[in-house]
Amino acid sequence: MTKSLITTHILDTALGKPAAGVPVTLSRLDDDNWTPLAQGTTDADGRIMQWSIPDADLPYATYKLTFDIESYFGDQSFYPFADIVFARRDDRHHHIPLLLTPFGYSTYRGS
């Protein structure tokens, strides 16, 4: 399987393991409105490597990944969801990892 131009990975740093089964929505900013493009769920390795839309439909733009954190941690989560907004300005692969605990999260530009 080939990977999409935009991929993600969630690591549950509290448990030191991938966060499997987390729903994630990929959206694009169009004229000041967020347009949902695709939805996915992290696999057993905590990854979404392929979206249901072709890469040709991912032009240079501002995108958002919305992670449904509460569905993973339940009522133990302080944050019900996390939005990560990023700009696609080049043709390189965009890997957006999420490091996650029930009370915090961080991200970075992955490879």
Q: Is the dihedral of CA 107, 76, 74, 13 positive or negative?
A: positive
- Per-residue pLDDT of the chain (111 residues), as tens digits, is 689 999 999 999 999 999 999 999 999 999 999 999 999 999 999 999 999 999 989 999 999 999 999 999 999 999 999 999 999 999 999 999 999 999 999 999 988
CATH top class, domain 6-105: mainly beta
The model's pTM: 0.94
Extended beta strands in 31-103, E state: 33-41, 47-48, 61-67, 82-88, 94-101
What is the predicted pLDDT for the residue at 1? 62
Neighbouring-strand partners of residue 35: 28
What is the predicted pLDDT for the residue at 111? 83
Answer yes or no: are the C-beta atoms of 67 and 11 closer than 8 Å: no
